[in-house]
């Protein structure tokens, strides 16, 4: 029996399941996230809400900041690179980061090609709005998928839309006859092998998290009930009134996502949630970056 | 035979699938009520030990679980599960159950690039596939602990009476021998 680096990388994502991955912008926030029960942190200079506000070109974070965060916690540390920017990814691999997020939150570096993630030893997570995007990213070597949602808005509608679409497309593929898979692979622009896996197993071949717009324990539990295997929280924690308490509540909500009594209890008195922006109020749709 | 699987965070579904293959009933444990349901043994899965420790405390399950293990409930901890059972950790402190007289080094092989696969001998089982993901290993044990496997000189599987722990993930392979070994301990 052989066991490839890619399998080990998919397996790290399996260990993150049922957990919350939190955006942090310094070592202090990373420690707060770990103490609140985060299963991993995403190290970045600015959280998506501030990237949105600042405008301009957004790039990989300063390696110094990423190293400080890696030194501050024992849980896995992830960091973002621009879509298609394989040199930023090479730099993060040199830092021995645990996971790279090839992310639409940053300004894309390439409007045609994503990174060939099979060339790397460290694992990648990528965003997807639908089954086709998810399977294309996996074909490129992604070891984990997350919904794109609409980052930095505090609005859950897009993450819900993406998760529902992925799940309903999976159900449709499961129901197809064997000889209909060829046409489906062509229409979705995905590899037949990966589509066959979905047809036979009723799930993606890698772990699938929810991301984008999660601001409350109820948001996190909603995504879990819709089929997410875990949750990323970006701006929702450190843009809120009481980050420690909210972070811990979201962690508990992901564990007990189907117990309304527990959700009611932990949703109490969390202070102010991030203000948020409705989707019709925003100019820049990050989810459209990289199909 | 009925096994409880601690399902606060991590790879608990993988353990459930192993038990399915062995035709053993099981239930997920996510809150205190789940912990009070009858069971013949308990599995603590891989995941993040800091997350599990925090949730055990926040959900008021820590003392009850510790009590149950001290009173003889058979338990099997893999990776983070091994850390949770340990008497202490030699680095990066996390609050553990302290029922298993071992000292564990966390992230002992480094970050994700240090994760690896190897086959090695387990006492009483034989050659076994071992998947190590940001894994710990056991640095020292007290006399009542039986060492079941070593890799590169480090202890990666051990047993103390009704407690079994591995630094690797048998639930990520298709080899059910270690799960069967644990079920025999539960009888």
The reply to whether B54 touches chain A by the CB within 8 Å rule is: yes
pLDDT at B45: 98
Residue A179: the pLDDT is 97
Give me the residue label for tokens 């189907």.
Answer: A258
pLDDT in tens, A166-222: 999 999 999 999 999 999 999 999 999 999 999 999 999 999 999 999 999 999 999
> Which residues in chain B are contacts of A123 at CB distance < 8 A?
112
Q: Helices A131-139 and A192-201 sit at what angle, rounded to 10 degrees?
A: 120
Are A198 and A226 in contact, with CB atoms under 8 Å apart?
Answer: no
Cβ-defined contact of B131 to A251 (cutoff 8 Å) = no
- Residue A242 has a pLDDT of 92
Q: Using CA coordinates, name the residue in chain A closest to B46.
A: A15
* Choice between A273 and B165, residue whose per-residue pLDDT is larger: B165
The arithmetic mean of pLDDT across residues A263-273, rounded, is: 92
From the CA of B46, how many Å to the nearest CA of chain A? 6
pLDDT confidence of residue A1: 54
Residue range A109-134: average pLDDT?
97
Q: Is A10 a catalytic residue?
A: no
Average pLDDT rounded to a whole number, residues A121-148: 97
Rounded mean pLDDT of B154-159?
Answer: 98
- Chain A touched by B144 (CB under 8 Å): no
In this predicted model, what pLDDT tens digit does every residue of A44-102 receive, in sequence order? Answer: 988 888 888 888 889 999 999 999 999 999 999 999 999 999 999 999 999 999 999 99
Which residues between 1 and 20 in chain B have a beta carbon less than 8 angstroms from any beta carbon of chain A?
Answer: 7-14
In this predicted structure, what is the pLDDT of residue A235? 85
Q: What is the mean pLDDT of residues B27-52?
A: 97
Cα–Cα distance measured from residue A84 to residue B28, given in angstroms and rounded to the nearest whole number: 41
pLDDT digits (tens, 9 = 90+) for A13-22: 999 999 999 9
pLDDT score recorded for residue A273: 81
How far away is chain A from the Cα of B9, in angstroms, using its nearest Cα?
A: 5
CA distance A149 to chain B (A): 23
The catalytic position among B158, B169, B179, B186 is B169
CA distance A208 to B117: 24
- Looking at CA atoms only, how far is residue A86 from chain B in angstroms? 18
How much of chain A exceeds pLDDT 70, in percent?
A: 100
3-class SS letters over chain A: CCCCHHHHHHHHHHHHCCCEEEEECCHHHHHHHHHHCCCEEEECCCCHHHHHHHCCCCCCCCHHHHHHHHHHCCCCEEEEEECCCHHHHHHHHHCCCCEEEEECCCCCCCCCCCCCHHHCCCCEEEEECCHHHHHHHHHCCCCEEEECCCCCCCCCHHHHHHHHHHHHHHHHHHHCCHHHHHHHHHHHCCCHHHHHHHHHHCCCCCEEEECCCCCCHHHHHHHHHCCCCCEEECHHHHCCCCHHHHHHHHHHHHHCCCCHHHHHHHCCCCCCCCCCCCHHHCCCCHHHCCC
Give the whole-number percent of chain B exceeding pLDDT 90: 99
The yes-or-no answer on residue B179 being catalytic is: no
Chain A, nearest residue to B129 by Cα: A1
B116 touches chain A (CB under 8 A): yes
Interface of A with B (CB under 8 A): 1, 3, 7-9, 11-12, 14-19, 34-40, 70, 74-76, 96-99, 121-123, 248, 251-252, 254-256, 259, 262
Query: Is B156 at the interface with chain A, CB within 8 A?
Result: no
The CA distance from A107 to A51, in Å, is 10
pTM equals 0.96
What residues of chain B lie within 8 A of the CB of A9, using their CB? 112, 115
Nearest CA in chain A to B79: A15
Query: Quick one: pLDDT at residue A52?
Result: 82
Rounded to the nearest integer, the mean pLDDT of chain A is 94
- For residue B34, the number of C-alpha atoms closer than 13 Å in the C-beta half-sphere is 20
Report pLDDT digits (tens) over B114-150. Answer: 999 999 999 999 999 999 999 999 999 999 999 999 9
The average pLDDT across A220-230 equals 98
Lowest-confidence region among A45-59, A275-289, B4-18: A275-289
Band the pLDDT of A149: cuts 50, 70, 90.
confident
Residues 73-112 of B with CB under 8 A from A: 79-80, 92, 94, 106-107, 110-112
- The span from the CA of B175 to the CA of A137, in Å, is 30
Q: Mutate which of B11, B18, B112 to disrupt the A interface (most A C-beta within 10 Å)?
A: B112
pLDDT of A262 over the 90 cut: yes
Mutate to test the interface with A, among B50, B78, B94 (most CBs of A within 10 A): B50
């Amino acid at each position: 029996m052989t066991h490839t680096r890619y399998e080990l990388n998919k397996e790290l994502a399996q260990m993150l399941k049922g957990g919350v991955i939190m955006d942090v912008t310094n070592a202090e926030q990373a420690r707060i996230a770990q103490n609140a029960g985060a299963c991993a942190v995403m190290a970045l200079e600015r959280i998506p809400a501030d990237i949105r506000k600042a405008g301009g070109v957004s790039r990989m974070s300063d390696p110094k900041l990423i190293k400080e965060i890696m030194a501050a916690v024992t849980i896995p540390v992830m960091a973002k690179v621009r879509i298609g920017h394989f040199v930023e990814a090479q730099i993060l691999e040199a830092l021995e980061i645990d996971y790279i997020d090839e992310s639409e939150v940053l300004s894309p570096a390439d409007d045609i090609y994503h990174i060939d993630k099979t060339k790397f030893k460290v694992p990648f997570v990528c965003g997807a709005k639908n089954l086709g995007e998810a399977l294309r990213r996996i074909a490129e070597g992604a070891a984990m998928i997350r919904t794109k949602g609409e980052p930095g808005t505090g609005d859950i509608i897009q993450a819900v839309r993406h998760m529902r679409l992925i799940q309903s497309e999976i159900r449709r593929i499961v129901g197809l006859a064997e000889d209909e898979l060829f046409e489906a692979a062509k229409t979705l622009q995905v590899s037949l092998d990966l589509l066959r896996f979905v047809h036979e197993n009723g799930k993606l071949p890698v772990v699938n998290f929810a991301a984008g717009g999660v601001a409350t324990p109820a948001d996190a539990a909603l995504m879990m009930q819709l089929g997410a295997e875990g949750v990323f929280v970006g701006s929702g924690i450190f843009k809120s009134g009481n980050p420690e308490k909210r972070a811990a509540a979201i962690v508990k909500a992901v564990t007990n996502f189907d117990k309304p009594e527990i959700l009611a209890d932990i949703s109490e008195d969390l202070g102010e949630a991030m203000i948020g922006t409705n989707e019709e109020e925003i100019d820049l749709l990050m989810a459209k970056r990289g199909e | 035979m009925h096994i409880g699987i601690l399902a606060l965070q991590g790879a608990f579904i993988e353990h459930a699938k192993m038990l399915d293959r062995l035709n053993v009933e099981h239930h997920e444990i996510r809150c205190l009520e789940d912990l009070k349901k009858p069971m013949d043994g308990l599995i603590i899965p891989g995941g993040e030990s800091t997350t599990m420790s925090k949730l055990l405390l926040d959900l008021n399950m820590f003392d009850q679980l510790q009590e149950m293990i001290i009173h003889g409930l058979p338990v099997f901890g893999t990776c983070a599960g091994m850390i949770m059972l340990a008497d202490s950790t030699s680095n990066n402190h996390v609050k553990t159950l302290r029922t298993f007289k071992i000292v564990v080094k966390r992230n002992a092989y480094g970050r994700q690039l240090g994760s690896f696969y190897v086959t090695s001998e387990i006492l009483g089982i034989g050659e076994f596939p071992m998947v190590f993901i940001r894994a710990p290993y056991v640095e020292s044990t007290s006399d009542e602990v039986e060492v079941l496997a070593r890799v590169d000189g480090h202890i990666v599987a051990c047993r103390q009476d009704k407690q079994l722990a591995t630094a690797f993930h048998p639930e990520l392979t298709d080899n059910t021998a270690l799960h069967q070994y644990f079920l025999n301990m539960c009888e």
